[in-house]
A and B are shown apart, each in its own frame.
Chain A
Amino acid sequence: MQSGPLSLENRAGELQDNGQPLLQIRDLKVGFAKSHGILPVINTANLTLGRREAIGVVGESGSGKTMLCRSVLGTLDRHGARVLGGQIMFEAHDLANAPESVWSKVRGKQIGYVPQSSLAGLNPVINVKTQMVEAITAARPMSVQDAEKEAVELLEVVRIPRAKDVLREYSYQLSGGMRQRVMIAAALAQKPKLLVADEPTTALDVTVQKEILTLISRLRRELGMALILVSHDLAVIEEVCDSLMVMYAGASFEAGSVSVTVHAPRHPYTKALHDSRVDTAERGKPLEAIAGEPPTIGSWPSGCRFWPRCPLGDDKCRAGDQPTLRHVAQQLTACIYAERMGDGHD
C-alpha cells in the first residue's frame, strides 16, 4: 500500500459505515425555467448508493443522465435548471435546491467530478500544475510547494509517467487519455467520498477507454470511494459497477445489481438495451436496434414513456402517469408487466 495523501490509513476513520446510504435520490424532479413555463428534464428519478458502492447510470442521450449528475454536483442553476421536487440526501445534507452554504461544504471536498472526455475538462490557458494546485488548495490552504508535491503524488496515483514534466504542460500538449488521467487526479485531490464520472471515456480510443475504466475501477476500490458512472454503454457499466440504474425520458426505469439487472431484466427497455449490445451480439446475426426514437425532452408520451417503442405496450400502458419503481424479483422496475418477463436469459 502506498503512503501519501491518498493512502487508506488517512481515510480509515471516515469510512465507518453507519448503515445509511451515502447518497439517496428520491423522486427527483428537475426542469429548465423557460419564459413560457417549466420544461421538465427529470421526472421521478430514484437512486440509492451505498458507501464504496459503484452504480452505473445508463440511458440514451436526452434521458436525463447528465442532468442527474448536475443535480448531485450542484451546477443545475448554471444551466438554467433547478430541482422542482424530491430529495437528494448526501450524508446529512439535502442537496435539492440547497443554499450555497451547504454546497460549499460539499463542493470540491466530498464529491469529485470527472467530465466527459470529449469536452475540454482542462482549462486551456493555464498549465496542469496551476489547476492541480487550485484543486488541492481549494479546500485545504497550504503552501504552493506542498501543494505541488501533492500534485506530483496525485499524478503518480493515476499512473502518469514523468509527472513533474506533465505538470508544466498545457491541455493541448496532452493526449486525450492523459487529459482524462489529470482530470481524475484533480478529482481525487480532496479524497472525495463520491466520484461522479459522466461518460468519462467518450471520444477516447478503445484501448485508452479500457485503461481509464480500469484506473477508475481500481482507484475507487483502493480509496474506498463511491462511484456514479454515467454511460450509454452497458458493457462499460458491467465491467466497473456493482449496481445499475436505467434511465429513460427523465425517469428511472429499472434499478438493481448489475449481474441481475443486465442478464435478467424486468423492464422491456433494459432488455432492448441489452439486446442491442455489440459486444455480446452473436456472430452472423443482424444487430438488434430499438425501434423508433426516444421522445424529445418535455414532450413525453402519457403513461409509461416507453410504450410507443415497447413490444409489450398496450392501452393500459398509455394511461395515467409514468409508473414508479416497485420491487419485482431481485430488482426495482417501473414496468407494469414486469412479472411477464421471465428469469430466463435470452
Chain B
Amino acid sequence: MSTHQMAKLPSRSRFDAVAFGMGIIQNRIVSRLLRSLLVGFGVMTIAFFLLRLVPGDPVQLLLGDTGTPELVEAYRQMLGLDGTLPEQYLRYLGSVMQGDLGTSINSSVSVNTIIARSLPVTLWLIAVTIVLALALALPLSIAAAIYQRTWFGHTFRVASSILLATPVFYSGLLLLLLFAIQLKVAPVAGYRTTFPTNLNYLWLPALVLCGVMVPITARVLQSSVIDTLDQEFVETAVVRGLGRLTFTWRYLLRPSLAPTISLLGYMIGQLLSAAVVVELVFNLPGIGTSLIVEGVLLRDYPVVQGIVLVFGMIVVIVSFLSDLVSGWLDPRTQT
C-alpha cells in the first residue's frame, strides 16, 4: 500500500464517524421530543386529577346560594363537569389533542385566548430576568472565583446566602418601596405591551426574580470557575499572553458555563413559580396573575389546567434549549 493510500484511510473513517455522530444527534433529538411529549402528558394528567382533589366545587362557587339542584346539574353538563372522573378526563384529553384547552368556567373566555393574552408578558419577564441574571452572575462569579479568599469572596458568599433565603414577595415589596416609591425610577405597577416601553415595567420585577436566580447560578459558576482556574490550560493561556477578553471568555467562562446553563434549565420551574408571585406583587397581567386571579381563586379548572400545561411545556422547552447551549459551549458534553 502506498503512503498516499495510507493517508487516505483515516479520513474515510473520520467521515464515517461524522455520519455516525449525526445519527446520534438526530436520535437524541427524536428521543428528546418523545420524552417532552410524555412529560406534557404527565403534567396534564397530574394537573387534572390534583385539581379535583382540592376541596371546593367550581359550580357551587359560581352559583352561590341560588343554585337549585337542577341548575347545578345543567351547569355541570354545560361545563363538561358531569359524569365520572375518567369520563371527564378522556373528554379533556380529546379536546387538548385538538389544541383546545377548554373554556373558562368563570368568564366564558376560551383558555387559549387567556393564555395568548398573558403568556407574552410572562415570557418577556422570564427573558429579561435570564439576561439580567447572567449579566449580574457572570462578572460576580468570576470576581468571586479570582478573589475567593479576599473580603470580596467572603461578602459574596454571605450576601448570596442571605439573598437566597429572602422570599420574592418580601424582596419584591422592598424593591418596590425603594425604586418605585422612594426613588421614583420605576412604575409602581402596570404594563404596556409595546417592545421598548415594556422594559420600563419589567426591569424591576426581573431584578426581584434575579434574587432567586443570581445567588444559585453565581455560586455554581463560581465553583466551576475555581475548578477551571486550577487547570493547566489556564496557566498556558497566561503564559501565552492572550488578550483579556479572549482569556476570560474562552479560558475561564466557556469551560465553566455548561453546569450553570444546565442548572438554568432545571431552575426554570422554580423561576416560573417565583414569577407568579412577582406578577401579583407588580400587578403584571402575565400568566401567573391569570393563574391565581382567574384560575385558582375561582376553582376555574380549565384555566388552571391549561396554564399548568403551558408551564410544563416551558420547562421542557427551556431545558432542551439549555442542553443545546451547553453542548455548543462544551463539545465534550455532546458525546
- Contact indicator A172/B231 (Cβ below 8 Å): no
Interface residue count on the B side (C-beta < 8 Å): 29
- Nearest-neighbour CB distance to chain A for B3, whole angstroms, equals 10
Q: Once A and B bind, how many residue pairs between them come within 8 Å at the CB atom?
A: 88
- Contact indicator B232/A121 (Cβ below 8 Å): yes
- Contact indicator A186/B240 (Cβ below 8 Å): yes
- Contact indicator B236/A74 (Cβ below 8 Å): no
| Alpha-carbon distance between A279 and B332 when the two chains are bound, in angstroms | 39
By beta carbon, the residue of chain B nearest A70 is: B235
Question: A139: CB under 8 A from chain B?
Answer: yes
- Contact indicator B232/A126 (Cβ below 8 Å): no
Question: A119: CB under 8 A from chain B?
Answer: yes
The secondary-structure label for the interface of chain A is loop
- Contact indicator A115/B236 (Cβ below 8 Å): yes
- Nearest-neighbour CB distance to chain A for B45, whole angstroms, equals 40
- Nearest-neighbour CB distance to chain A for B197, whole angstroms, equals 39
- Contact indicator A123/B7 (Cβ below 8 Å): no
Residue numbers in A under 8 Å from B242 (CB-CB): 108, 134, 138
Identify which of A119, A134, A170 gathers the most chain B CB atoms within 10 Å of its CB: A134
Residue numbers in B under 8 Å from A108 (CB-CB): 239-242
Question: A78: CB under 8 A from chain B?
Answer: yes
- Nearest-neighbour CB distance to chain A for B191, whole angstroms, equals 40
Q: Which of A93-133 contact B (CB under 8 A)?
A: 103-104, 107-109, 111-113, 115-116, 119-126, 130
- Nearest-neighbour CB distance to chain A for B24, whole angstroms, equals 15
By beta carbon, the residue of chain A nearest B253 is: A125
Question: B330: CB under 8 A from chain A?
Answer: yes
From B231, B233, B241, B329, give the contact of A107 (CB < 8 A): B241
| Alpha-carbon distance between A124 and B333 when the two chains are bound, in angstroms | 11
- Contact indicator B239/A123 (Cβ below 8 Å): no
Residue numbers in B under 8 Å from A161 (CB-CB): 7
Question: A273: CB under 8 A from chain B?
Answer: no
| Alpha-carbon distance between A123 and B236 when the two chains are bound, in angstroms | 9
Question: B161: CB under 8 A from chain A?
Answer: no
- Nearest-neighbour CB distance to chain B for A282, whole angstroms, equals 38
- Nearest-neighbour CB distance to chain A for B128, whole angstroms, equals 28
Question: B254: CB under 8 A from chain A?
Answer: yes
Residue numbers in B under 8 Å from A123 (CB-CB): 233, 237, 250-251, 255
| Alpha-carbon distance between A204 and B32 when the two chains are bound, in angstroms | 39
Q: Which of B237-272 contact A (CB under 8 A)?
A: 237-243, 246, 250-251, 254-255
**Binary flags per residue of B74-116, CB closer than 8 Å to A gives 1, else 0:** 0000000000000000000000000000000000000000000
Identify which of B233, B255, B329 gathers the most chain A CB atoms within 10 Å of its CB: B233
Question: A14: CB under 8 A from chain B?
Answer: no
| Alpha-carbon distance between A293 and B235 when the two chains are bound, in angstroms | 29
Question: A41: CB under 8 A from chain B?
Answer: no
| Alpha-carbon distance between A109 and B329 when the two chains are bound, in angstroms | 29
Residue numbers in A under 8 Å from B246 (CB-CB): 134
Question: A73: CB under 8 A from chain B?
Answer: yes
Residue numbers in B under 8 Å from A189 (CB-CB): 240
| Alpha-carbon distance between A125 and B232 when the two chains are bound, in angstroms | 14
What 10 pairs between A and B have smallest CB-CB spacing? Answer: A108-B241, A119-B232, A107-B241, A108-B240, A113-B239, A123-B233, A115-B232, A125-B330, A125-B254, A121-B232
Q: Which residues of A contact B (CB under 8 A)?
A: 73-75, 78, 80, 103-104, 107-109, 111-113, 115-116, 119-126, 130, 134-135, 138-139, 161-162, 165, 170, 172, 183, 186, 189
29 interchain pairs, CB-CB under 8 A: A75-B238, A78-B229, A78-B234, A107-B239, A107-B240, A108-B239, A108-B240, A112-B239, A113-B235, A115-B232, A115-B236, A119-B232, A120-B232, A121-B232, A121-B233, A123-B233, A124-B255, A124-B332, A125-B329, A125-B331, A134-B242, A138-B240, A138-B243, A139-B241, A165-B14, A170-B332, A172-B335, A183-B236, A186-B236
